[in-house]
Structure 1
């Protein structure tokens, strides 16, 4: 299905309000120009899911010093039209930044969590896990796997947020204005699930290397030597052995993440903020994004934790199956092992992601995500 750009959209206004962009929120020019290059044309191209994926994937292959078509201009250079090609590219860049940087930032917590999941008899507590890793491997041991984490989740984040915006718009158009507003939660769930299916294909190989590096000391130092070793021992299919469990972990996680975030933002503006969203300062809007993101992160951690345990177990053990993992761990451990640490990690990480993502959108002149429909005043 080809999605052509239109300046008037069938998507309901509750999904996005451009009033925020018109209320004076603007972006400084110089810093953004240092990070991105101006796109080559004012007219955004027709977009499909496959062409958007090519834009995301192609960004990683762009030679240094060459302007990438994946980049977006700043708001001061050109107005970004909602739901245009530039809009989706901006969302993808925002997703790449928010997921890649935050996951890399919590690498020490992730290292301890993975080891607690794989070897609970050795890593019995959170504090003990940190102490033991530092004692055996030094402080550097807490940062094992940071490169595949950064790259893998950057790819995943670009696809997750870019495709979420694309599918949310597409499904809203398919439903029509009235049904899209009536079944908005269904659209959030369907859009995020569709985006995550694509995003996890990009993440899977990096995640396999990350877990092996973090839980098998001496296996490899990082991505550059870890991926060839993993391919040599398990074959190329070994990189994607955890794809189904990864879908099992990430799809419910992302559905909960986006639907809970959107619903929480809407509830905050409806019940806790005394003025319309368009009258709320940009800093307050970003604070609301972080708060709603943290709440969504706690829910995400709980619902996706069993699959997270399975992903860690399967990537640790070469020939293990899902059934063997469940039998060996037991149902109680499957749902609870490492959960408190993951709630802390995912809550903070998800809150920070939405804060960074919406900060980037504001930075390029776009409105923050979500809010309440502001009904037109009757004459």
Structure 2
């Protein structure tokens, strides 16, 4: 490391002291990037959910499934559930991204600063993503239950407001949060794949670069690294979370026996088998790769546009802020 690189490293080896305004910025940016990407992916999610829960779609793929929806229900059916998707991931995305920034900083502080945090970075990534996702899912669950009910039952309601009020009226909190445990089983692995894999992909990309090279990266190079890391993180997020995503769709459609949630999940998992649990994985990988890469690209771009502060980087061989 040159003297110039050493000075840059020492100057960056501090943990920023984020303010309430900073965390509000993280929430706002996370909310925007998630609602935009999830809203745009609604047609793919409609087909994916149908493949998971509707026998008529069982042998179809993404393309043939889309054609079947349009042929039998019209193109408008591809936007079923757009309302709860947009609103649900608006609040969930904000809570998740702001929460990840918050808990990552708290964890880095608790282990003694950025230098010590490098040693424990895997645990910090896993813990921060899991805790942030847990609280975000408290906000998401009722809206996700509404979305799945709308997609799985075409006659259930006309949209977000009517679907949510009917579900709340007929089932109360119990039905609104019936999918909370499977959502946690789905979203926590998803967040782990999204954030942890993205962090390590960036670390691998930056590890061979000098500080000077990294500071002078072209916009195209930065975009390539962000996009590649996001796509790989999306693959990981999809694979890790897909079995629980399948079970969540079944639970919210009302399938499975009565009893405790762990019992219901266990019975549904046995009935589905390994192959059934991964039904619709292909479309979901495509969807999730687009979601995650799009979210990280938008997150960085909107943060920069709003003048929001950078997050904390605790990659190996560096403790810089990005």
Q: Distance in 1 between matches of 2:223 and 2:68?
A: 38
Q: Distance in 1 between matches of 2:13 and 2:279?
A: 39
Question: Which segment drifts farther, 187-196 or 267-276?
Answer: 267-276
Match of 2:282 among 315, 340, 352: 340
Question: Which segment drifts farther, 188-197 or 123-132?
Answer: 123-132
* Paired residues of 1:114 and 1:215 also in contact (CA < 8 A): yes
Q: Specify the alignment match of 2:233 in structure 1.
A: 296
Q: Specify the alignment match of 2:26 in structure 1.
A: 91
After superposition, the C-alpha distances for 1:248-284 in whole angstroms (9 at most, x for unaligned) are 0011110121111011011112237895322224554
* Paired residues of 1:107 and 1:142 also in contact (CA < 8 A): yes
Q: Distance in 2 between matches of 1:207 and 1:236?
A: 13
Question: Which segment drifts farther, 88-97 or 119-128?
Answer: 119-128
* Paired residues of 2:256 and 2:268 also in contact (CA < 8 A): no
Q: Distance in 2 between matches of 1:284 and 1:369?
A: 21
Q: Specify the alignment match of 1:209 in structure 2.
A: 146
Aligned-pair CA distance for 1:137: 1.4
What is the correspondence of 1:10-21 to structure 2 with a 5 Å cutoff?
Answer: 13=12
**1:266 and 1:128, CA in 2 relative to 1: closer, same or farther beyond 3 A?**
same
**1:93 and 1:226, CA in 2 relative to 1: closer, same or farther beyond 3 A?**
same
Equivalent pairs counted in the alignment come to 300
Aligned-pair CA distance for 1:323: 2.9
Q: Distance in 1 between matches of 2:305 and 2:218?
A: 14
Match of 2:203 among 261, 266, 282: 266
Q: Distance in 2 between matches of 1:14 and 1:343?
A: 37
- Secondary structure of 2:208's partner? helix
TM-score (norm 2): 0.86
Q: Distance in 2 between matches of 1:14 and 1:239?
A: 45
Q: Specify the alignment match of 1:156 in structure 2.
A: 92
Match of 1:354 among 286, 293, 296: 296
Q: Distance in 1 between matches of 2:220 and 2:306?
A: 15
Aligned-pair CA distance for 1:132: 1.4
TM-score (norm 1): 0.74
* Paired residues of 1:106 and 1:345 also in contact (CA < 8 A): yes
Match of 2:36 among 75, 97, 101: 101
**1:179 and 1:124, CA in 2 relative to 1: closer, same or farther beyond 3 A?**
same
**1:220 and 1:273, CA in 2 relative to 1: closer, same or farther beyond 3 A?**
farther
Aligned-pair CA distance for 1:346: 0.3
Decide which structure has greater helix share.
Answer: 2
Q: Distance in 1 between matches of 2:25 and 2:13?
A: 20
Question: Which segment drifts farther, 302-311 or 265-274?
Answer: 265-274
What runs of 5+ residues in structure 1 fail to find an aligned partner?
1-11, 17-80
What runs of 5+ residues in structure 2 fail to find an aligned partner?
1-10, 258-263
Question: Which segment drifts farther, 230-239 or 242-251?
Answer: 230-239
Q: What is the RMSD of the two structures over their aligned residues, measured on CA atoms?
A: 2.4
* Paired residues of 1:362 and 1:368 also in contact (CA < 8 A): no
Q: Distance in 2 between matches of 1:15 and 1:339?
A: 42
Q: Distance in 1 between matches of 2:19 and 2:154?
A: 47
Q: Distance in 1 between matches of 2:192 and 2:269?
A: 24
